[in-house]
Structure formats: structure tokens, C-alpha cells
């Protein structure tokens, strides 16, 4: 449960509007690095503790300032981009990585060879933001930074943090960086991200050769696609191996059922939040569990598919 930003009453995590006062729920928020409070994406300071999110312009005659990564001589725009990257980094750790490992990821970022590449990319992004009007509230700037921050973090976590990661994120993820939705085969991207060959689960992409009884069990228990959906894969997570529990991904939706829970589905264009929660994950606030490693890879692909839906257009 979270609180409405207007009336402060509790509301469901996936709610679009507050049922008490009708206020629209803030879909994107900034988490205060000091106290963890959720703030509006447009806020300059935390509403709870007053911590400033973005560095103010230096006073005339003041010496060079440093951002959180120790970079000096950054102009105001570059400092703001750097600080927004830090917030994106913290959000990634909070949503996908065990808290006990967070300090080690920060240390690795500051000590690895990735730091130089990050500094250079921040300068480039600051220039691109300036070309878009330097207004961080616009959708164009938010989309630009969101996409690039996700790709930078993918690269850093896969290439520089393999020994820290709790799952082996496949290198194939990186081949989709910089690609537009129309350049991507969605089915192949899903298979590449999930890397099911390295999971100890039965899964199927050929539904002609899939055992008919298991296909029927999936269709009876959790797989209810519409006529215009293309079925990409079915994964069997049932203890008895009968495919009465599992998940399936189509061109438009994720369907799943876990033991003792009702069948669920989430359409990609309605994805709002995917995050780690102890040994499972939640998708729009709904419980999902396959395996500990597959859960984390599922977070990655759903966030990637969600960005694809925002960009519009696809090649199925």
C-alpha cells in the first residue's frame, strides 16, 4: 500500500486515482536518497526532510563543485543529469537487488573503468537535453534520460558486476540497446532476456510438439489469450510438472498462475511497476514467482517491454 499525495490516505499500489479524493496518482516519483520519501518527479527538494535533489547553480566566484560521483567542473545541466542518473541507479538497486549488496554496487561504480564512460555519456546527454529545451519536466527529456539510464545501468551491471549479481543476466540484453521498437523482434527479445536454457524449468515455444495434456492444463488454468495475440512461450513451474501452474508470454500480455493463487494477467501497455519483494517479485502489485533467478530476469524484460510500449510501434 502507498499513500495518496493529496489526502495522504492509503491506496492500492496499482491504483491510477485515489478512491478517497479522486486525485491522480503520480506514476513516476523520485525517492529521496536521505529518507526514502516518494516525491513528485518535478520536485527540487524532498517534502519530508528538505534534501535537495539537484545541485543549485554555484554562487559567483565559487570554486568548482562536485556531484555525487566526485566529478568536478560540471556545469549546472551536467550536474542535474548526473544527479538524475544517481536517482535512477538507486531506484534500480531498490527494485532489483538485495539491500545488503547496495554499498558494493556503489563502490564498484566509483572504482570501475565504467566511471570514465559514464562521465562522457553524461556530458553528451546534457547536450541533448539542452537541445530539447533543458526542461526536465517534458516527456521528451524524461524519455531520453529514462532510456539511456536503463541502458547504461544494464551495461554496468552485466559487464562490471557479474560477481555481485544474484542471477546471470545474459549478454544478449545488450544487443537491444539503441534499437527502436520497429527494429526489434519482440518474441526473440523475450527469449534472449529470459535465457530459459539456463533455467531448471520446462518451457515450450513449439506448441505442436508440446504434450497436449500440458497445453490443455495451461489453457484451462492461466492462459486465456485473445484472438489477435501471438503466443510466444509457455513455462511450466508446477511442482508435479503438469503445467497447471506457470506463465506464458504473448505479443501483448503476460499470463501466470502460482500455487494456491488465482490466475493473473498484465498487458504490457498497462505495466506500472515491477519490483523485487524478498524472494519473489510483484507486477503491478501482484505476486509472481518462478525461480529466484528467473524472477530477476523477468523484471528486466517487463521493464524493457514497458519502454517499448511507450515508444510505440513494434515488429512481432
The DSSP string of 99-138 is GGGHHHHHHHHHHSTHHHHHHHHHHHHHHHHHHTTS-TTS
**Contact status, residue 297 vs residue 315, Cβ threshold 8 Å:** no
Long-range contacts of 213-218 (CB under 8 A, 24+ apart): 213/242, 214/242, 214/243, 215/243, 217/242, 217/243, 217/244, 218/243, 218/244, 218/246, 218/248
One domain for residues 225 and 148: no
The tally of domains found in the chain comes to 2
The string of pLDDT tens digits covering residues 180-231 is 888 899 999 999 999 999 999 999 999 999 999 999 999 999 999 998 999 9
The pLDDT > 90 percentage for the chain reads 61
Sheet holding 264-267, edge to edge: 202-204, 231-236, 246-250, 253-257, 264-267
> Domain span at residue 276?
186-311
Residue 294 has pLDDT above 50, yes or no: yes
Q: For residues 93 and 308, which has the higher predicted lDDT (pLDDT)? A: 93
Question: Per-residue pLDDT averaged across 105-122, rounded?
Answer: 90
One domain for residues 137 and 221: no
Question: Rounded to the nearest 5°, which phi and psi values hold at 45?
Answer: -145, 155
Residue 316 has pLDDT above 60, yes or no: no
User: What is the pLDDT at residue 59?
Assistant: 43
Last residue of a domain, one of 133, 165, 197: 165
**316 in a structural domain:** no
One domain for residues 195 and 298: yes
**67 in a structural domain:** no
Which of 130, 152, 153, 155 lies closest to 141 in space, CA to CA? 130
One domain for residues 149 and 263: no
Q: For residues 274 and 63, which has the higher predicted lDDT (pLDDT)? A: 274
One domain for residues 115 and 221: no
User: What is the pLDDT at residue 279?
Assistant: 86
One domain for residues 140 and 248: no
**116 in a structural domain:** yes
Task: Report d(CA 176, CA 141) in Å as an integer.
Answer: 21
One domain for residues 160 and 254: no
User: How high does pLDDT run on average in the chain?
Assistant: 84
Residues 6+ apart with CB under 8 A from 290: 199, 201, 235, 237, 247, 298
Question: Rounded to the nearest 5°, which phi and psi values hold at 12?
Answer: -65, 150
Last residue of a domain, one of 130, 165, 200: 165
Question: Rounded to the nearest 5°, which phi and psi values hold at 102?
Answer: -55, -45
The pLDDT > 70 percentage for the chain reads 77
Question: Per-residue pLDDT averaged across 84-107, rounded?
Answer: 94
Q: For residues 19 and 129, which has the higher predicted lDDT (pLDDT)? A: 129
**Contact status, residue 275 vs residue 95, Cβ threshold 8 Å:** yes
Q: Cell numbers at residue 278, please?
A: 524478498
Residue 287 has pLDDT above 50, yes or no: yes
**151 in a structural domain:** yes
Which of 279, 195, 289 lies closest to 239 in space, CA to CA? 289
User: What is the pLDDT at residue 55?
Assistant: 40
Long-range contacts of 280-288 (CB under 8 A, 24+ apart): 282/13, 283/254, 284/13, 284/14, 285/12, 285/13, 285/14, 286/14, 287/258, 287/261, 288/247, 288/256, 288/258, 288/264
User: What is the pLDDT at residue 58?
Assistant: 39
**Contact status, residue 9 vs residue 20, Cβ threshold 8 Å:** yes
Residues in the chain: 316
User: What is the pLDDT at residue 76?
Assistant: 86
User: What is the pLDDT at residue 100?
Assistant: 94
Task: Report d(CA 288, CA 161) in Å as an integer.
Answer: 26
User: What is the pLDDT at residue 5?
Assistant: 60
The string of pLDDT tens digits covering residues 41-87 is 556 567 776 666 544 333 444 443 444 444 444 588 899 999 999 99
Q: Cell numbers at residue 125, please?
A: 546527454
User: What is the pLDDT at residue 307?
Assistant: 80
**111 in a structural domain:** yes
Amino acid at each position: 500500500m502507498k499513500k495518496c499525495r493529496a489526502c495522504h490516505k492509503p491506496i492500492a499500489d496499482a491504483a491510477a486515482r485515489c478512491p478517497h479524493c479522486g486525485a491522480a496518482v503520480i506514476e513516476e516519483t523520485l525517492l529521496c536518497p536521505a529518507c526514502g520519501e516518494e516525491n513528485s518527479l518535478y520536485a527540487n527538494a524532498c517534502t519530508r526532510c528538505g534534501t535537495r535533489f539537484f545541485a543549485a547553480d554555484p554562487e559567483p566566484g565559487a570554486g568548482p563543485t562536485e556531484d555525487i560521483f566526485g566529478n568536478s567542473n560540471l556545469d549546472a545541466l551536467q550536474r542535474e543529469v548526473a544527479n538524475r542518473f544517481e536517482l535512477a541507479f538507486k531506484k534500480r538497486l531498490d527494485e532489483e537487488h538485495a539491500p545488503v549488496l547496495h554499498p558494493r554496487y556503489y563502490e564498484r561504480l566509483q572504482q570501475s573503468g565504467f566511471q570514465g564512460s559514464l562521465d562522457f555519456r553524461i556530458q553528451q546527454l546534457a547536450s541533448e537535453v539542452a537541445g530539447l529545451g533543458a526542461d526536465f519536466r517534458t516527456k521528451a527529456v524524461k524519455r531520453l534520460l529514462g532510456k539511456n539510464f536503463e541502458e547504461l545501468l544494464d551495461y554496468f551491471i552485466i559487464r562490471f558486476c557479474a560477481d555481485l549479481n544474484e542471477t546471470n543476466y545474459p549478454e544478449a540484453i545488450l544487443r537491444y540497446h539503441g534499437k527502436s521498437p520497429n527494429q526489434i523482434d519482440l518474441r526473440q527479445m523475450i527469449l534472449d532476456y529470459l535465457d530459459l536454457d539456463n533455467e531448471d524449468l520446462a518451457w515450450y515455444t513449439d506448441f505442436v510438439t508440446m504434450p497436449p495434456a500440458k497445453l490443455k492444463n495451461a489453457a484451462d488454468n492461466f492462459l486465456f489469450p485473445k484472438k489477435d495475440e501471438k503466443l510466444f512461450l509457455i513455462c511450466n513451474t508446477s511442482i508435479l510438472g503438469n503445467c497447471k501452474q506457470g506463465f506464458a508470454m504473448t505479443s501483448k500480455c503476460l499470463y501466470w498462475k502460482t500455487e494456491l493463487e488465482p490466475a493473473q494477467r498484465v498487458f504490457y501497455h498497462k505495466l506500472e511497476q515491477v519490483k523485487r519483494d524478498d524472494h519473489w517479485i510483484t507486477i503491478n502489485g501482484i505476486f509472481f514467482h518462478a525461480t529466484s533467478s528467473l524472477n530477476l530476469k523477468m523484471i528486466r524484460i517487463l521493464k524493457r517491454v514497458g519502454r517499448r510500449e511507450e515508444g510505440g510501434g513494434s515488429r512481432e
